Amino acid sequence: MATEQTVQQHAGGYQQPTAGTAGAQTQVSGQATTVSATAGATGGVGAGNLITPDIDQKLYKFKSDDTPMMQIMLHSKRVNVKSPVVRHYIIDEPKSFVTTKDAVAKSTDNQFILPLLSQDQKLPRPYTTLLVKGVDGYDATGQKATPGKDLMIFIVGRDTTTGNPVAIAVNGPRAVSSDENCTTPAIPAGSVCVLMANACYETQKEVDPDLITPQPIDLHLQKRILNRVVSDYFDAQEKQIPFNQAIIAEAQITNFKVKGNRTLYAGQKGKITVDTKLGPQDVYFTEGVRYQVKKEIKDDGKWNFKKFIALAKLIFTGEDVPNTILGLCGKNFLEKIQTIDFSDHPEVRFEVNMNNLGWEVTRIHTIFGNLEFKHDPTLDRLRWSNSCFMIAYDRCVHYVYSAEHTDKDRVEGEEATRNSTIVWDGLGLKGTCHVWIDGEGGTDNYGTDVIHMHLWNSDKAPATPKENCVYYLMVDCLAINAEAVSGTVWQYKNSAWEPYTGEIPLGN
Protein backbone atom coordinates (compact mmCIF):
# COMPACT_ATOMS: atom_id res chain seq x y z
CA MET A 1 0.00 0.00 0.00
CA ALA A 2 1.51 3.30 -1.13
CA THR A 3 0.95 6.24 1.18
CA GLU A 4 3.58 8.77 0.19
CA GLN A 5 3.01 11.41 -2.45
CA THR A 6 5.94 11.94 -4.82
CA VAL A 7 6.59 14.13 -7.84
CA GLN A 8 5.67 12.25 -11.01
CA GLN A 9 6.23 13.19 -14.64
CA HIS A 10 3.01 13.95 -16.54
CA ALA A 11 2.26 10.86 -18.63
CA GLY A 12 -0.32 12.47 -20.89
CA GLY A 13 -3.97 13.34 -20.48
CA TYR A 14 -5.67 15.56 -17.95
CA GLN A 15 -7.81 14.91 -14.93
CA GLN A 16 -11.43 15.24 -16.00
CA PRO A 17 -14.07 17.12 -14.00
CA THR A 18 -16.34 15.19 -11.64
CA ALA A 19 -19.87 15.97 -10.57
CA GLY A 20 -20.76 18.63 -8.03
CA THR A 21 -23.85 18.52 -5.83
CA ALA A 22 -26.27 19.09 -8.70
CA GLY A 23 -24.53 16.62 -11.02
CA ALA A 24 -22.75 19.11 -13.30
CA GLN A 25 -19.23 17.97 -14.26
CA THR A 26 -17.49 21.04 -12.81
CA GLN A 27 -15.18 19.86 -10.02
CA VAL A 28 -11.48 19.12 -10.57
CA SER A 29 -10.11 18.49 -7.10
CA GLY A 30 -6.38 18.84 -6.57
CA GLN A 31 -5.76 20.94 -9.68
CA ALA A 32 -4.58 24.53 -9.86
CA THR A 33 -6.55 27.04 -11.91
CA THR A 34 -4.21 27.39 -14.89
CA VAL A 35 -4.85 27.79 -18.60
CA SER A 36 -3.30 24.37 -19.30
CA ALA A 37 -5.29 22.53 -16.64
CA THR A 38 -8.55 24.20 -17.57
CA ALA A 39 -8.00 23.60 -21.28
CA GLY A 40 -7.17 19.96 -20.59
CA ALA A 41 -10.23 19.44 -18.44
CA THR A 42 -12.68 21.22 -20.73
CA GLY A 43 -11.26 20.46 -24.15
CA GLY A 44 -10.14 24.04 -24.74
CA VAL A 45 -10.84 27.52 -23.43
CA GLY A 46 -12.46 30.15 -25.64
CA ALA A 47 -12.57 33.87 -25.12
CA GLY A 48 -15.74 35.43 -23.76
CA ASN A 49 -17.16 38.90 -23.94
CA LEU A 50 -19.30 39.66 -20.88
CA ILE A 51 -21.18 42.93 -20.79
CA THR A 52 -23.07 44.55 -17.95
CA PRO A 53 -26.87 44.38 -18.00
CA ASP A 54 -28.45 46.75 -20.49
CA ILE A 55 -32.24 47.13 -20.73
CA ASP A 56 -34.29 48.73 -23.44
CA GLN A 57 -36.76 50.31 -21.02
CA LYS A 58 -39.41 51.20 -23.63
CA LEU A 59 -39.49 47.70 -25.11
CA TYR A 60 -39.24 46.20 -21.63
CA LYS A 61 -42.38 47.95 -20.40
CA PHE A 62 -44.45 47.43 -23.55
CA LYS A 63 -47.18 44.79 -22.97
CA SER A 64 -45.13 43.40 -20.09
CA ASP A 65 -47.97 41.47 -18.46
CA ASP A 66 -48.62 39.44 -21.61
CA THR A 67 -44.97 38.49 -22.17
CA PRO A 68 -43.31 37.86 -18.78
CA MET A 69 -40.69 35.43 -20.11
CA MET A 70 -39.48 38.02 -22.60
CA GLN A 71 -39.43 40.59 -19.81
CA ILE A 72 -37.22 38.30 -17.76
CA MET A 73 -34.88 37.84 -20.73
CA LEU A 74 -34.59 41.60 -21.30
CA HIS A 75 -33.96 42.10 -17.58
CA SER A 76 -31.26 39.39 -17.38
CA LYS A 77 -27.53 39.88 -17.64
CA ARG A 78 -26.70 40.55 -21.28
CA VAL A 79 -23.82 38.71 -22.92
CA ASN A 80 -22.74 39.72 -26.43
CA VAL A 81 -21.48 36.74 -28.43
CA LYS A 82 -19.90 36.29 -31.85
CA SER A 83 -21.73 33.16 -32.97
CA PRO A 84 -25.37 31.99 -33.12
CA VAL A 85 -24.25 28.79 -31.35
CA VAL A 86 -23.29 29.56 -27.75
CA ARG A 87 -21.50 27.41 -25.19
CA HIS A 88 -23.75 28.08 -22.19
CA TYR A 89 -21.99 27.09 -18.96
CA ILE A 90 -23.46 25.55 -15.84
CA ILE A 91 -21.56 25.57 -12.56
CA ASP A 92 -22.65 24.15 -9.24
CA GLU A 93 -21.37 23.75 -5.70
CA PRO A 94 -18.69 21.14 -4.90
CA LYS A 95 -19.97 17.85 -3.55
CA SER A 96 -20.29 17.87 0.21
CA PHE A 97 -19.86 14.13 0.77
CA VAL A 98 -18.59 10.85 -0.68
CA THR A 99 -19.95 7.36 -0.06
CA THR A 100 -17.94 4.23 0.68
CA LYS A 101 -18.22 1.59 -2.02
CA ASP A 102 -17.17 -1.35 0.16
CA ALA A 103 -16.84 -1.99 3.87
CA VAL A 104 -13.65 -1.26 5.82
CA ALA A 105 -12.85 -4.13 8.16
CA LYS A 106 -11.75 -3.45 11.72
CA SER A 107 -8.04 -4.16 12.21
CA THR A 108 -4.98 -3.23 14.23
CA ASP A 109 -3.45 -1.29 11.34
CA ASN A 110 -3.04 2.46 11.75
CA GLN A 111 -3.79 3.26 8.11
CA PHE A 112 -6.51 1.93 5.82
CA ILE A 113 -7.76 2.35 2.28
CA LEU A 114 -11.09 4.17 2.03
CA PRO A 115 -12.95 2.45 -0.86
CA LEU A 116 -14.85 5.01 -2.96
CA LEU A 117 -16.53 5.13 -6.35
CA SER A 118 -14.13 6.02 -9.16
CA GLN A 119 -15.68 9.47 -9.72
CA ASP A 120 -15.22 10.33 -6.02
CA GLN A 121 -11.70 9.02 -5.45
CA LYS A 122 -9.92 12.31 -6.12
CA LEU A 123 -12.23 14.48 -3.99
CA PRO A 124 -10.64 13.77 -0.58
CA ARG A 125 -7.13 15.24 -0.92
CA PRO A 126 -4.23 14.74 1.50
CA TYR A 127 -4.68 16.67 4.78
CA THR A 128 -8.48 16.65 4.30
CA THR A 129 -10.72 15.51 7.16
CA LEU A 130 -13.93 13.54 6.68
CA LEU A 131 -16.79 12.93 9.10
CA VAL A 132 -18.16 9.38 8.76
CA LYS A 133 -21.88 9.63 9.48
CA GLY A 134 -23.46 6.77 11.41
CA VAL A 135 -20.13 5.40 12.69
CA ASP A 136 -19.40 6.13 16.34
CA GLY A 137 -16.10 7.67 17.33
CA TYR A 138 -14.19 6.94 20.55
CA ASP A 139 -13.14 8.94 23.58
CA ALA A 140 -9.59 10.21 24.14
CA THR A 141 -8.47 6.84 25.51
CA GLY A 142 -9.72 4.98 22.45
CA GLN A 143 -11.32 2.39 24.70
CA LYS A 144 -14.93 3.58 24.81
CA ALA A 145 -17.24 4.39 21.93
CA THR A 146 -19.06 7.73 22.02
CA PRO A 147 -22.53 7.26 20.50
CA GLY A 148 -23.72 10.42 18.78
CA LYS A 149 -20.17 11.66 18.13
CA ASP A 150 -19.29 10.55 14.62
CA LEU A 151 -15.93 9.13 13.60
CA MET A 152 -13.55 11.57 11.89
CA ILE A 153 -10.78 10.39 9.59
CA PHE A 154 -7.73 12.15 8.12
CA ILE A 155 -6.47 11.60 4.56
CA VAL A 156 -2.72 10.96 4.45
CA GLY A 157 -2.14 9.77 0.90
CA ARG A 158 -3.41 7.69 -1.99
CA ASP A 159 -3.20 4.02 -2.89
CA THR A 160 -1.44 3.84 -6.28
CA THR A 161 -3.05 0.50 -7.14
CA THR A 162 -6.73 1.33 -6.63
CA GLY A 163 -6.62 5.13 -6.70
CA ASN A 164 -8.50 5.28 -3.39
CA PRO A 165 -7.44 7.65 -0.59
CA VAL A 166 -5.53 6.33 2.41
CA ALA A 167 -6.78 7.47 5.81
CA ILE A 168 -6.18 7.26 9.53
CA ALA A 169 -8.76 7.66 12.28
CA VAL A 170 -8.68 10.83 14.39
CA ASN A 171 -10.99 9.71 17.19
CA GLY A 172 -10.94 5.98 16.58
CA PRO A 173 -10.13 2.98 18.78
CA ARG A 174 -6.65 2.41 20.27
CA ALA A 175 -5.00 -0.86 21.22
CA VAL A 176 -3.98 0.70 24.54
CA SER A 177 -4.89 4.13 25.81
CA SER A 178 -1.28 5.34 25.69
CA ASP A 179 -0.91 4.70 21.94
CA GLU A 180 -0.42 7.82 19.85
CA ASN A 181 -2.23 6.53 16.77
CA CYS A 182 -5.65 4.95 16.43
CA THR A 183 -6.31 1.57 14.87
CA THR A 184 -8.69 0.95 11.98
CA PRO A 185 -12.39 1.04 12.93
CA ALA A 186 -15.13 -0.84 11.08
CA ILE A 187 -16.83 1.32 8.45
CA PRO A 188 -19.84 -0.24 6.67
CA ALA A 189 -20.34 -0.07 2.93
CA GLY A 190 -22.55 2.83 1.91
CA SER A 191 -21.34 5.07 4.73
CA VAL A 192 -21.64 8.79 3.99
CA CYS A 193 -18.36 10.65 4.55
CA VAL A 194 -18.87 14.42 4.77
CA LEU A 195 -15.97 16.47 3.36
CA MET A 196 -14.60 18.78 6.06
CA ALA A 197 -11.80 21.36 6.24
CA ASN A 198 -8.18 20.37 5.87
CA ALA A 199 -5.86 20.21 8.90
CA CYS A 200 -2.21 21.24 8.46
CA TYR A 201 1.02 21.11 10.46
CA GLU A 202 2.72 24.12 12.05
CA THR A 203 4.96 25.32 9.22
CA GLN A 204 2.87 24.05 6.30
CA LYS A 205 2.16 26.50 3.47
CA GLU A 206 0.85 24.30 0.66
CA VAL A 207 -2.04 21.92 0.04
CA ASP A 208 -3.53 20.60 -3.19
CA PRO A 209 -5.54 23.36 -4.89
CA ASP A 210 -8.94 22.92 -6.52
CA LEU A 211 -10.00 23.80 -10.05
CA ILE A 212 -13.65 24.43 -10.94
CA THR A 213 -14.55 23.98 -14.63
CA PRO A 214 -18.08 24.96 -15.67
CA GLN A 215 -19.91 22.43 -17.85
CA PRO A 216 -20.92 23.72 -21.30
CA ILE A 217 -24.22 23.08 -23.07
CA ASP A 218 -24.88 24.19 -26.65
CA LEU A 219 -27.50 26.93 -26.93
CA HIS A 220 -28.79 28.18 -30.30
CA LEU A 221 -29.77 31.82 -30.80
CA GLN A 222 -32.78 32.46 -33.02
CA LYS A 223 -33.06 35.39 -35.42
CA ARG A 224 -36.48 37.06 -35.34
CA ILE A 225 -37.66 39.85 -37.64
CA LEU A 226 -40.63 42.21 -37.39
CA ASN A 227 -41.54 43.76 -40.73
CA ARG A 228 -44.02 46.59 -41.12
CA VAL A 229 -44.90 47.75 -44.63
CA VAL A 230 -47.22 50.75 -45.10
CA SER A 231 -48.16 52.07 -48.54
CA ASP A 232 -47.94 55.76 -49.29
CA TYR A 233 -51.62 55.76 -50.33
CA PHE A 234 -52.76 54.25 -47.02
CA ASP A 235 -50.69 56.71 -45.04
CA ALA A 236 -52.21 59.66 -46.94
CA GLN A 237 -55.85 58.70 -46.41
CA GLU A 238 -58.16 60.25 -43.86
CA LYS A 239 -59.62 57.37 -41.84
CA GLN A 240 -63.21 57.15 -40.68
CA ILE A 241 -61.77 55.89 -37.41
CA PRO A 242 -58.56 57.88 -36.98
CA PHE A 243 -55.59 55.59 -36.49
CA ASN A 244 -52.08 56.01 -37.69
CA GLN A 245 -48.88 54.04 -38.10
CA ALA A 246 -48.20 54.15 -34.37
CA ILE A 247 -51.40 52.26 -33.59
CA ILE A 248 -50.68 49.68 -36.27
CA ALA A 249 -47.12 49.34 -34.99
CA GLU A 250 -48.40 48.76 -31.46
CA ALA A 251 -50.55 45.84 -32.59
CA GLN A 252 -47.71 44.39 -34.65
CA ILE A 253 -45.17 44.70 -31.85
CA THR A 254 -47.63 43.04 -29.48
CA ASN A 255 -47.95 40.10 -31.86
CA PHE A 256 -44.17 39.98 -32.29
CA LYS A 257 -43.53 39.88 -28.54
CA VAL A 258 -46.30 37.35 -27.81
CA LYS A 259 -45.00 34.92 -30.44
CA GLY A 260 -41.46 35.45 -29.18
CA ASN A 261 -42.62 34.70 -25.65
CA ARG A 262 -44.05 31.36 -26.81
CA THR A 263 -40.75 30.53 -28.49
CA LEU A 264 -38.81 31.32 -25.31
CA TYR A 265 -40.96 28.73 -23.55
CA ALA A 266 -41.42 25.94 -26.07
CA GLY A 267 -38.92 26.35 -28.92
CA GLN A 268 -37.04 23.25 -30.04
CA LYS A 269 -33.30 23.44 -30.65
CA GLY A 270 -32.24 22.79 -34.23
CA LYS A 271 -30.60 24.01 -37.42
CA ILE A 272 -31.81 23.88 -41.03
CA THR A 273 -29.91 24.98 -44.14
CA VAL A 274 -31.94 26.91 -46.71
CA ASP A 275 -31.15 28.12 -50.22
CA THR A 276 -31.19 31.90 -50.66
CA LYS A 277 -30.23 34.43 -53.32
CA LEU A 278 -26.83 34.56 -51.64
CA GLY A 279 -26.41 30.79 -51.52
CA PRO A 280 -27.05 28.24 -48.71
CA GLN A 281 -27.54 29.76 -45.26
CA ASP A 282 -28.36 28.31 -41.83
CA VAL A 283 -31.52 28.96 -39.83
CA TYR A 284 -31.07 28.37 -36.08
CA PHE A 285 -33.88 27.49 -33.68
CA THR A 286 -33.49 28.28 -29.99
CA GLU A 287 -34.45 25.87 -27.22
CA GLY A 288 -37.23 26.99 -24.89
CA VAL A 289 -36.73 27.16 -21.15
CA ARG A 290 -39.33 24.41 -20.71
CA TYR A 291 -36.78 21.98 -22.10
CA GLN A 292 -33.74 23.50 -20.40
CA VAL A 293 -35.14 22.77 -16.94
CA LYS A 294 -33.48 19.83 -15.14
CA LYS A 295 -36.03 19.37 -12.33
CA GLU A 296 -39.67 18.53 -12.97
CA ILE A 297 -42.46 17.91 -10.47
CA LYS A 298 -45.33 15.72 -11.61
CA ASP A 299 -48.47 17.39 -10.24
CA ASP A 300 -51.66 15.51 -9.39
CA GLY A 301 -53.63 18.75 -9.24
CA LYS A 302 -54.39 18.61 -5.51
CA TRP A 303 -52.63 21.52 -3.81
CA ASN A 304 -52.74 22.30 -0.11
CA PHE A 305 -50.64 24.08 2.50
CA LYS A 306 -48.44 21.05 3.15
CA LYS A 307 -47.54 20.80 -0.53
CA PHE A 308 -46.40 24.41 -0.59
CA ILE A 309 -44.10 23.78 2.36
CA ALA A 310 -42.68 20.74 0.54
CA LEU A 311 -42.19 22.81 -2.63
CA ALA A 312 -40.42 25.59 -0.73
CA LYS A 313 -38.20 23.04 1.02
CA LEU A 314 -37.20 21.41 -2.27
CA ILE A 315 -36.34 24.77 -3.84
CA PHE A 316 -34.70 26.67 -0.98
CA THR A 317 -32.77 23.85 0.72
CA GLY A 318 -31.32 22.17 -2.35
CA GLU A 319 -27.80 22.31 -3.71
CA ASP A 320 -28.41 25.36 -5.91
CA VAL A 321 -30.44 27.79 -3.79
CA PRO A 322 -31.88 30.89 -5.55
CA ASN A 323 -32.34 34.31 -3.99
CA THR A 324 -35.87 34.64 -5.33
CA ILE A 325 -38.29 32.33 -7.12
CA LEU A 326 -41.23 33.27 -9.32
CA GLY A 327 -43.98 30.90 -10.42
CA LEU A 328 -45.35 31.74 -13.87
CA CYS A 329 -48.70 29.94 -13.86
CA GLY A 330 -51.31 28.73 -16.26
CA LYS A 331 -54.84 29.86 -15.41
CA ASN A 332 -56.01 26.52 -13.95
CA PHE A 333 -52.92 26.13 -11.77
CA LEU A 334 -53.30 29.67 -10.47
CA GLU A 335 -56.96 29.04 -9.65
CA LYS A 336 -56.03 25.99 -7.57
CA ILE A 337 -53.54 27.83 -5.38
CA GLN A 338 -55.81 30.87 -4.98
CA THR A 339 -58.62 28.70 -3.55
CA ILE A 340 -56.52 26.89 -0.91
CA ASP A 341 -57.90 27.23 2.60
CA PHE A 342 -55.18 28.72 4.81
CA SER A 343 -57.49 29.41 7.76
CA ASP A 344 -55.82 26.70 9.87
CA HIS A 345 -52.41 28.31 9.31
CA PRO A 346 -52.62 31.96 10.40
CA GLU A 347 -48.82 32.17 10.36
CA VAL A 348 -48.85 31.92 6.57
CA ARG A 349 -49.00 35.29 4.81
CA PHE A 350 -50.84 35.23 1.50
CA GLU A 351 -50.40 38.73 0.11
CA VAL A 352 -50.15 40.80 -3.05
CA ASN A 353 -46.83 42.59 -3.55
CA MET A 354 -44.78 44.38 -6.18
CA ASN A 355 -41.72 42.25 -6.96
CA ASN A 356 -38.27 43.31 -8.15
CA LEU A 357 -39.37 43.16 -11.79
CA GLY A 358 -42.16 45.66 -11.17
CA TRP A 359 -44.96 43.10 -11.38
CA GLU A 360 -47.87 42.66 -9.03
CA VAL A 361 -47.56 39.09 -7.76
CA THR A 362 -49.20 36.85 -5.18
CA ARG A 363 -46.61 36.02 -2.53
CA ILE A 364 -46.76 33.11 -0.10
CA HIS A 365 -44.35 33.45 2.80
CA THR A 366 -42.86 30.26 4.29
CA ILE A 367 -40.01 29.80 6.73
CA PHE A 368 -37.86 28.41 3.90
CA GLY A 369 -38.42 31.36 1.58
CA ASN A 370 -40.99 33.36 -0.37
CA LEU A 371 -42.87 31.88 -3.31
CA GLU A 372 -44.18 34.41 -5.85
CA PHE A 373 -46.91 33.57 -8.37
CA LYS A 374 -48.14 35.36 -11.49
CA HIS A 375 -50.45 34.42 -14.33
CA ASP A 376 -48.74 33.95 -17.69
CA PRO A 377 -51.24 33.87 -20.59
CA THR A 378 -48.60 32.23 -22.78
CA LEU A 379 -48.95 28.96 -20.86
CA ASP A 380 -52.66 28.91 -21.66
CA ARG A 381 -51.97 29.45 -25.36
CA LEU A 382 -49.43 26.62 -25.28
CA ARG A 383 -52.06 24.33 -23.68
CA TRP A 384 -50.17 24.26 -20.38
CA SER A 385 -52.94 25.81 -18.26
CA ASN A 386 -52.44 23.29 -15.43
CA SER A 387 -48.68 23.84 -15.19
CA CYS A 388 -46.29 26.31 -13.56
CA PHE A 389 -42.69 27.33 -14.19
CA MET A 390 -40.75 28.16 -11.02
CA ILE A 391 -37.94 30.37 -12.34
CA ALA A 392 -35.13 32.11 -10.47
CA TYR A 393 -35.16 35.25 -12.61
CA ASP A 394 -31.82 36.43 -11.23
CA ARG A 395 -30.21 33.30 -12.71
CA CYS A 396 -30.81 33.80 -16.42
CA VAL A 397 -28.53 34.95 -19.22
CA HIS A 398 -29.61 36.93 -22.30
CA TYR A 399 -27.26 35.99 -25.14
CA VAL A 400 -27.22 38.51 -27.99
CA TYR A 401 -25.59 37.73 -31.35
CA SER A 402 -27.02 40.81 -33.06
CA ALA A 403 -28.41 43.57 -30.88
CA GLU A 404 -31.92 44.77 -31.66
CA HIS A 405 -31.83 47.29 -34.45
CA THR A 406 -34.26 48.90 -36.88
CA ASP A 407 -34.05 49.57 -40.58
CA LYS A 408 -36.22 51.76 -42.82
CA ASP A 409 -36.19 51.64 -46.61
CA ARG A 410 -38.38 52.03 -49.65
CA VAL A 411 -39.81 48.80 -51.07
CA GLU A 412 -38.22 48.26 -54.46
CA GLY A 413 -40.70 48.86 -57.27
CA GLU A 414 -43.50 49.84 -54.89
CA GLU A 415 -44.85 53.03 -53.37
CA ALA A 416 -44.40 51.81 -49.82
CA THR A 417 -42.01 52.02 -46.90
CA ARG A 418 -40.67 49.00 -45.01
CA ASN A 419 -39.75 49.29 -41.33
CA SER A 420 -37.85 46.29 -39.97
CA THR A 421 -36.92 45.34 -36.42
CA ILE A 422 -34.33 42.56 -36.20
CA VAL A 423 -33.38 40.58 -33.09
CA TRP A 424 -30.98 37.63 -32.88
CA ASP A 425 -30.78 36.32 -29.34
CA GLY A 426 -31.67 33.57 -26.87
CA LEU A 427 -32.29 32.90 -23.18
CA GLY A 428 -30.22 30.48 -21.09
CA LEU A 429 -30.95 29.25 -17.56
CA LYS A 430 -28.10 29.31 -15.04
CA GLY A 431 -27.91 26.65 -12.38
CA THR A 432 -30.33 23.83 -11.59
CA CYS A 433 -32.70 25.60 -9.19
CA HIS A 434 -35.45 26.17 -11.76
CA VAL A 435 -38.42 23.76 -11.50
CA TRP A 436 -41.18 22.91 -13.96
CA ILE A 437 -44.44 21.77 -12.32
CA ASP A 438 -46.17 19.57 -14.89
CA GLY A 439 -49.92 19.42 -14.40
CA GLU A 440 -50.79 18.15 -17.87
CA GLY A 441 -50.25 14.47 -17.03
CA GLY A 442 -47.70 13.77 -19.74
CA THR A 443 -45.01 11.08 -19.39
CA ASP A 444 -43.27 11.56 -22.72
CA ASN A 445 -39.95 12.78 -21.36
CA TYR A 446 -39.34 10.02 -18.82
CA GLY A 447 -35.86 8.60 -19.29
CA THR A 448 -34.37 11.91 -20.43
CA ASP A 449 -31.73 13.94 -18.58
CA VAL A 450 -34.41 15.42 -16.31
CA ILE A 451 -35.06 14.50 -12.68
CA HIS A 452 -38.77 13.75 -12.27
CA MET A 453 -40.07 14.49 -8.77
CA HIS A 454 -43.33 13.50 -7.11
CA LEU A 455 -44.79 14.96 -3.92
CA TRP A 456 -45.90 11.59 -2.49
CA ASN A 457 -48.81 11.68 -0.04
CA SER A 458 -49.44 7.98 0.60
CA ASP A 459 -48.10 5.40 3.04
CA LYS A 460 -48.06 2.88 0.19
CA ALA A 461 -45.09 2.70 -2.15
CA PRO A 462 -45.68 3.61 -5.82
CA ALA A 463 -46.96 0.55 -7.65
CA THR A 464 -44.95 1.10 -10.85
CA PRO A 465 -42.23 3.69 -10.20
CA LYS A 466 -40.20 4.90 -13.15
CA GLU A 467 -36.44 4.47 -13.16
CA ASN A 468 -34.60 7.46 -11.57
CA CYS A 469 -37.85 9.09 -10.39
CA VAL A 470 -37.58 11.03 -7.11
CA TYR A 471 -40.27 11.05 -4.41
CA TYR A 472 -40.59 13.68 -1.69
CA LEU A 473 -42.51 11.96 1.12
CA MET A 474 -45.26 14.04 2.70
CA VAL A 475 -46.18 11.16 5.03
CA ASP A 476 -44.24 8.21 6.44
CA CYS A 477 -43.92 5.48 3.80
CA LEU A 478 -42.30 2.47 5.44
CA ALA A 479 -43.22 0.40 2.40
CA ILE A 480 -40.32 2.12 0.64
CA ASN A 481 -37.79 1.82 3.45
CA ALA A 482 -37.71 1.65 7.23
CA GLU A 483 -36.14 5.13 7.21
CA ALA A 484 -38.59 6.60 4.68
CA VAL A 485 -40.28 9.11 6.96
CA SER A 486 -42.14 12.31 6.15
CA GLY A 487 -39.89 15.03 4.73
CA THR A 488 -37.25 12.68 3.30
CA VAL A 489 -36.53 12.27 -0.41
CA TRP A 490 -36.09 8.89 -2.11
CA GLN A 491 -35.11 7.81 -5.60
CA TYR A 492 -36.02 4.64 -7.48
CA LYS A 493 -32.74 3.67 -9.10
CA ASN A 494 -31.54 0.36 -10.54
CA SER A 495 -34.85 -1.24 -9.48
CA ALA A 496 -34.27 -0.34 -5.82
CA TRP A 497 -35.01 2.52 -3.43
CA GLU A 498 -32.22 4.74 -2.11
CA PRO A 499 -31.99 8.19 -0.47
CA TYR A 500 -31.81 10.93 -3.09
CA THR A 501 -28.47 12.78 -3.06
CA GLY A 502 -29.45 15.63 -5.35
CA GLU A 503 -27.34 14.68 -8.36
CA ILE A 504 -28.79 15.57 -11.75
CA PRO A 505 -27.68 13.99 -15.06
CA LEU A 506 -26.79 16.93 -17.31
CA GLY A 507 -26.63 16.24 -21.01
CA ASN A 508 -26.03 18.34 -24.08
Q: Is the pLDDT of residue 202 over 70?
A: yes
Give the per-residue pLDDT at 187: 94
Give the per-residue pLDDT at 184: 93
Which range (92-106, 182-196, 218-232) has the least confidence? 218-232
Give the per-residue pLDDT at 237: 46
69: left (phi over 0), alpha (psi -120 to 50) or beta: alpha
Proportion of the chain in helix, strand, coil states, percent, rounded to 5: 15, 35, 50
Q: Is the pLDDT of residue 183 over 90?
A: yes
Amino acid identity of 304? N
Find the mean pLDDT for residues 11-15: 51
Place 153 in a pLDDT band, splitting at 50, 70 and 90.
very high
Place 49 in a pLDDT band, splitting at 50, 70 and 90.
very low
Strand duo 451-456 + 295-298: pairing = parallel
3-state SS class at 37: helix
Greater confidence, 376 or 28?
376
Q: What angle do CA 383, 389, 391 make, to 5 degrees?
A: 150
State the Cα–Cα distance between residues 28 and 7, nearest whole angstrom.
19
Give the per-residue pLDDT at 53: 35
Give the per-residue pLDDT at 387: 92
Give the per-residue pLDDT at 10: 40
Residues in the chain: 508
Beta carbons within 10 angstroms of residue 429's beta carbon = 21
Which range (93-102, 156-165, 451-460) has the least confidence? 93-102
Which range (3-12, 31-40, 143-152, 323-332) has the least confidence? 3-12
The CA R_g of the chain, rounded to the nearest whole Å, is: 28
Find the mean pLDDT for residues 461-482: 86
Is residue 490 within 8 A of residue 458, CB to CB? The reply is no
Return all residues near 243 (Cβ < 8 A) that are at least 6 apart.
none
Beta sheet of 489-493, edge-to-edge order = 349-354, 360-365, 370-375, 326-329, 388-391, 435-438, 295-298, 451-456, 470-473, 489-493, 496-499
Helices (H), 322-376: 331-338
Cα–Cα nearest to 213, from 19, 81, 77: 19
Give the per-residue pLDDT at 299: 83
From residue 14, give the alpha-carbon distance in Å to each of 36, 42, 217.
Answer: 9, 9, 21
Greater confidence, 159 or 228?
159
Is residue 450 within 8 A of residue 296, CB to CB? The reply is yes
Place 305 in a pLDDT band, splitting at 50, 70 and 90.
confident
Give the per-residue pLDDT at 112: 94
Amino acid identity of 76? S
Q: Is the pLDDT of residue 60 over 50?
A: no
Greater confidence, 13 or 166?
166
Place 212 in a pLDDT band, splitting at 50, 70 and 90.
low
Q: What angle do CA 327, 333, 336 make, to 5 degrees?
A: 115
Is residue 412 within 8 A of residue 88, CB to CB? The reply is no
Place 116 in a pLDDT band, splitting at 50, 70 and 90.
very high
From residue 364, give the alpha-carbon distance in Å to each of 131, 278, 299.
Answer: 37, 55, 19
Greater confidence, 482 or 3?
482
Greater confidence, 81 or 104?
104
Beta carbons within 10 angstroms of residue 392's beta carbon = 22
Rounded to the nearest integer, the mean pLDDT of the chain is 77
Which range (265-279, 280-294, 418-432) has the least confidence? 418-432
Q: Is the pLDDT of residue 443 over 70?
A: no
Greater confidence, 227 or 496?
496
Cα–Cα nearest to 206, from 492, 7, 422, 445: 7
3-state SS class at 35: helix
